[in-house]
Amino acid sequence: MASSNSLMDNLFQRSLEDLIKGLRLQLLGESFFISKSLEEIRREIKSTDLSTKSIALQKLSYLAALHGVDMSWAAFHAVEVVSSSRFSDKRIGYHAITQSFNDQTPVLLLITNQLRKDLNSSNEYEVSLALECLSRIGTDDLARDLTSEVFTLLGSSKVLVRKKAIGVVLRVFDKYPDAVKVCFKRLVENLESSDPQILSAVVGVFCELTTKEPRSYLPLAPEFYKILVDSRNNWDLIKVLKIFAKLALVEPRLAKKVADPICELMRRTVGKSLLFECIRTVVSSLSDQETALKLAVAKIREFLVDDDRNLKYLGLHALSIAAPKHLWAVLENKEAVVKALSDEDPNVKLEALHLLMSMVNEDNVSEISRILMNYALKSDPFFCNEIIASILLACSRNSYEIIVDFDWYLSLLGEMARIPHCQRGQEIGHQLIDIGTRVKDARLELVRVSRALLIDPALLGNQFLHPILSAASWASGEYVEFSKTPYEIAEALLQPRTSLLAPSVRAIYIHSTFKVLVFSLAVYFSAQEPISSPLVEESTSSGSSPVNGITHKSISSLVNMIEIGLCSLSGTLDVEVQERAKNVLGFIGMIKHKIAEKVTTQESETEASRAVAFMEDVFSEELGPVTSTAQEKVPLPDGLELKESLEDLQEFCGEFLKPVVDSNSNSNSFSSSENISFSVAKLRISDQKEASSSSSHPPESASLLAEHRKRHGLYYLSSQKNDDHNDNNGDNNNTLNEYPPANEISVDSFNTKKKMNQSKQRPVVVQLDEGDGLKTKPDASNNDEPLSRAIQTALMGKGKEKEREKDNHERDLDSRIKGRSSGREKKTKKKNGEKSSKHRSRRRSDKESSAAEPVEIPDFLL
Amino acid sequence: MIKAVMMLNTQGKPRLAKFYDYMPVEKQQELIRGVFSVLCSRPENVSNFLEIDSLFGPDSRLVYKHYATLYFVLVFDGSENELAMLDLIQVLVETLDKCFSNVCELDIVFNYSKMHAVLDEIVFGGQVLETSSAEVMKAVEEISKLEAASNSISLVPKSVSGWRGR
């Protein structure tokens, strides 16, 4: 019965072709057809007849490859099919296995013997199926178990088999480094093969091996050199060039040696692929070879002016490889690069943009930015934003290293905001604030640019610009003393279209309005009684645009405008907006009638002026940039256990809450504290305390803050306030002088010195000591992989191996022991093998054992 | 190393897809879709190279060629030459042309097995092993002969085929 079923299956089974035809007929419901076919396949694949089974498996492979059907469940059936004696079944089986197996496939263990059998088959096409399979799914175990078969095949007389055996070596070495001991010599011998197919295969393998760990293959340089000089096959030459590109980086003498043949190739070849590889090799690895480099750059120019977009793109690509070391190559081709910006091809455009950015320096930054901004205006949105992003990135690098004229840069940022496609609001806004905090001299311009942005109601409609507007509003409030027209700014901040802003941005708008209001009031009060507020006097005298024209009339209209503008917001749903609006309104309510009184009374120290002076104090603290490593700089105080569990915190807190309340006079409490919970609780509570006390006693606020700093100096970063910096606040009162900003500020004196002799002096840019950029740890070289060690052992004597081991400090002890023992093993093996090996390799090893050179380069270089 | 070979038609249907590193089928389908969405947005007459790091990880490049209704796509890493890969597509297409005499999309659709035979002779485990279409043809014809021979045996009853197979 079963056999008749199977016969029926066999007769009426859909072939793969039927399945494909069926699929093509399904205009709709393809997935239904697939699931129906899958049912069929599931039934057929269980058949006892191997050919039925294999056709089912083939259909499944097809569906898996092109329709994303899972076939991992059929792994066992694939193993069954592969064991068939019929070639077509076997092929289907191997195809299924390579397609669906991975390291975790449980039935993987079952194919080792089948693979061995097929690798030993007399039919070269069966061998080649097995080799293909091994090269795709070879695991550590498979590689180990089949190494000897691969070794045999490496010497096969059949070219088809031998080249695939060479190909599989890559996978075998990768999974089972000890295979190097067995196979490496035969692999190297193939480098001298006269058969072009074999040579291609082995050069390809060495190219891959060299990419992973160049140093190990230096001893083979003579063989590669021979191919470089003799070969006429572009495929091989490209691979050999890639090998030399890697080798020349670890052995500079090689660069000199190969420069001539590469130049020769560049002059001779007609193949663009080979020519490009020569160029790439020269610009990336032979950049000290003057003649080669000149020739390569000349060839690049030919690529750049070629009509073929591929060549143009690759020419730009080659230039960008050359750019870091040889900027002249880019500068020479500047016109071509700029022209490429308007190319239709997005790749070409992007590559040209990167190149342009690589040649930006302080002299040409404004010219290049001008060109780019023009392109940004007429480009598609994607490229436009790429341009904006690259300008922003290049200009802000190393704390705006290349910017000399910050006024120009700020107005550029302002222009960017007005480019219709601009979506980089976040970065632009960030830079506006960053420059504001870092570059004191640029603040006047910043306020001007911000004003222009704020008063334009059109910008409020574009939500990508909201971060810019947020930054502009903050700057206008923070640096309001530079503004000629505070009234106008307040008006802009309160314009009706601000309802389009997100609540968080709106809150900043309101807060800035508050700052503008306080500033105007302070000026108003101080104008009439100069003695009362030194702070305001300072700011009016230092600010480059003294606002003296604030009259009673203008101040009351300002107050009225703000009051009306904010009234509607006091009922907003968003609490942040609501609270800020209410704060301002509350302040206005307190101060409003005093303004009128001010004209009549002659009392010098009114409540109103005290309140205003206090608010002025609140906003007077200068904000500086904060380094990303600020937290790390705080030394860990004694007794502070950061890693301790805080489970019992509750208990401690309850205990210490009480004493803190009356510890106001105990200024030394922190240093006497004994454990973390105590100090944390105390800090927080005393902070609160200070906040509340300062609000009740306004004039004391500054001194209280100073005291806080004295007590908890640890949490403030050490400040080295530069004289240059204090010039502007030269007549600060004492309180302020002993209370420098919390953020650490040091002035980049190096940069200013460097640029002294320029026509326009670069303003001081505040730089943080370190850590402005993210620190990147240099990658520890990972050349102690088992594979490279094995290869070094295979190529060198034991002594060299020892040296290398010394070099690799990071190697752990365990693997070192392993490495030595394997080295020893190798040595004994090698002694036997060497006698029979060609005189060339003996000469090499002889030379190595005698030479004291740290790098193992055979004599052909010297 | 070559990471993947794909042939997609202009509607985005994969006609052949081969990934040289193991990948679950869902991931394969996702990559095919990703590649197609990039390809179909490219205008005509632009360069044939794409930076494709977002799909295939760092140091990945893609070269494609558009023939009639098909995109031929190769994805590879830094140890291959971009222009050589473009040539390789040419080799592949030439070979297919010899195989099917004037290859068209339908040939590729219906000859799943033969397509893989051709490709496996050219690219072996991600390495380019053969670039001469004559050599590839020779091997593929041998494989077809072997398959035909083994299939003809299967028409004979099992016991006999076992005997003849020896």
Residues 73-132 of A with CB under 8 A from B: 85-89, 91-92, 95, 101-103, 123, 125, 131-132
Whole-number pLDDT of residue A202: 94
Q: Which amino acid is at A403?
A: I
**What ipTM was estimated for this complex?**
0.92
- Give the distance from residue B10's alpha carbon to the nearest chain A alpha carbon, in angstroms: 15
pLDDT digits (tens, 9 = 90+) for A423-457: 899 999 999 999 998 888 899 999 999 999 998 88
| CA-wise closest residue to B71 among B95, B41, B51, B110 | B41
Whole-number pLDDT of residue B153: 61
Question: Which residues on chain B are in Cβ contact (under 8 Å) with A170?
Answer: 125, 127
The answer to whether residue A523 scores a pLDDT higher than 70 is yes
Q: Which amino acid is at A318?
A: A
| Cross-chain residue pair A347–B50, CB shorter than 8 Å | yes
Please report which confidence band the pLDDT of residue A83 belongs to, taking 50, 70 and 90 as the band edges.
very high
Question: Which residues on chain A are in Cβ contact (under 8 Å) with B47?
Answer: 309-310, 312-313, 345, 347-348
The answer to whether residue A730 scores a pLDDT higher than 90 is no
| Cross-chain residue pair A310–B83, CB shorter than 8 Å | yes
The answer to whether residue A738 scores a pLDDT higher than 70 is no
Mean pLDDT confidence for A299-328? 91
| Cross-chain residue pair A160–B139, CB shorter than 8 Å | yes
| Cross-chain residue pair A70–B25, CB shorter than 8 Å | yes
Is the CB of B37 inside 8 Å of chain A's CB atoms?
A: no
Instruction: Considering only the beta carbons, identify the residue of A68, A88, A204 that sits closest to B127.
Output: A204
Q: Which residue has the higher pLDDT, A600 or A761?
A: A761
Q: Which residue has the higher pLDDT, A524 or A304?
A: A304
pLDDT digits (tens, 9 = 90+) for A32-72: 899 999 999 999 999 888 889 999 999 999 999 999 999 99
Tokens matching residue B7: 């042939």
- Give the distance from residue B98's alpha carbon to the nearest chain A alpha carbon, in angstroms: 20
Question: Which residues on chain A are in Cβ contact (under 8 Å) with B153?
Answer: 86
Residues 204-243 of A with CB under 8 A from B: 204-205, 207-208, 211, 234-235, 238, 242
Whole-number pLDDT of residue B62: 94
Q: Which residue of B has its CA nearest to A102?
A: B22
Whole-number pLDDT of residue A184: 92
CB atoms within 10 A of CB A392: 18
Distance CA A407, CA B43 (A): 41
| Cross-chain residue pair B151–A88, CB shorter than 8 Å | yes
Whole-number pLDDT of residue A731: 41
Among B5, B8, B13, B22, most A C-beta atoms within 10 A, so best to mutate, is: B22
- Residues of chain A with pLDDT > 90, as a percent, come to 37
Distance CA A807, CA A809 (A): 6
Calculate Rg over the CA atoms of chain B. Answer: 18
Instruction: Considering only the beta carbons, identify the residue of B28, B120, B130 that sits closest to A68.
Output: B28
The answer to whether residue A174 scores a pLDDT higher than 90 is yes
Instruction: Considering only the beta carbons, identify the residue of A71, A242, A314 that sits closest to B82.
Output: A314
Please state, rounded to an integer, the average pLDDT across all residues of chain A: 77
Non-local CB neighbours of A756 within 8 Å, separated by 6+ positions: none
Cα dihedral A343, A347, A349, A352 in deg (nearest 10)? -120
The pTM for the full model equals 0.71
Distance CA A303, CA A321 (A): 15
Distance CA A284, CA A245 (A): 7
pLDDT digits (tens, 9 = 90+) for A528-570: 554 333 444 344 433 333 445 667 788 888 888 898 888 888 7
Q: Which amino acid is at A427?
A: E
Whole-number pLDDT of residue A534: 41
| CA-wise closest residue to B11 among B42, B36, B46 | B36
Whole-number pLDDT of residue B149: 87
Distance CA A789, CA A771 (A): 37
The answer to whether residue A315 scores a pLDDT higher than 80 is yes
Please report which confidence band the pLDDT of residue A8 belongs to, taking 50, 70 and 90 as the band edges.
low
| Cross-chain residue pair B51–A58, CB shorter than 8 Å | no
Instruction: Considering only the beta carbons, identify the residue of A132, A235, A276 that sits closest to B120.
Output: A132
pLDDT digits (tens, 9 = 90+) for B97-145: 999 988 899 999 999 999 999 999 999 999 999 999 999 999 999 999 9
Please report which confidence band the pLDDT of residue A712 belongs to, taking 50, 70 and 90 as the band edges.
low
pLDDT digits (tens, 9 = 90+) for A261-274: 999 999 998 899 99
Question: For tokens 């305390």, what's the residue?
Answer: A689
| CA-wise closest residue to B18 among A18, A130, A64 | A64
Going through A696-849 in order, the beta strands assigned E by DSSP cover 746-747, 766-767
Mean pLDDT confidence for B61-74? 93
pLDDT digits (tens, 9 = 90+) for A107-164: 988 999 999 999 999 999 999 999 999 999 999 999 999 999 999 999 999 999 999 9
SS3 of residue A747 by DSSP: strand
The Cα-based distances of A288 to A215, A221, A379, A741 in angstroms read 20, 19, 38, 50
Mean pLDDT confidence for A777-806? 57
Residues 59-88 of B with CB under 8 A from A: 78-79, 81-84, 86-87
| Cross-chain residue pair A208–B86, CB shorter than 8 Å | no
String of DSSP letters for A165-211: HHHHHHHHHHH-TTHHHHHHHHHHHGGG-S-HHHHHHHHHHHHHHHH
Among A27, A34, A54, A66, most B C-beta atoms within 10 A, so best to mutate, is: A66
Distance CA A838, CA A842 (A): 7
The answer to whether residue A235 scores a pLDDT higher than 90 is yes
Whole-number pLDDT of residue A598: 63
| Cross-chain residue pair B127–A89, CB shorter than 8 Å | no
Tokens matching residue A480: 């309001």
Calculate Rg over the CA atoms of chain A. Answer: 38
- Give the distance from residue A257's alpha carbon to the nearest chain B alpha carbon, in angstroms: 22
| Cross-chain residue pair B150–A88, CB shorter than 8 Å | yes
Name the phi and psi angles at A69, rounded to 5: -85, 135
The answer to whether residue A854 scores a pLDDT higher than 60 is no
Instruction: Considering only the beta carbons, identify the residue of B47, B51, B147 that sits closest to A87.
Output: B147
Mean pLDDT confidence for A803-816? 44
Q: Which residue of B has its CA nearest to A212?
A: B79
Among A54, A81, A134, A160, most B C-beta atoms within 10 A, so best to mutate, is: A160
Question: Which residues on chain B are in Cβ contact (under 8 Å) with A168?
Answer: 125
Whole-number pLDDT of residue A799: 40
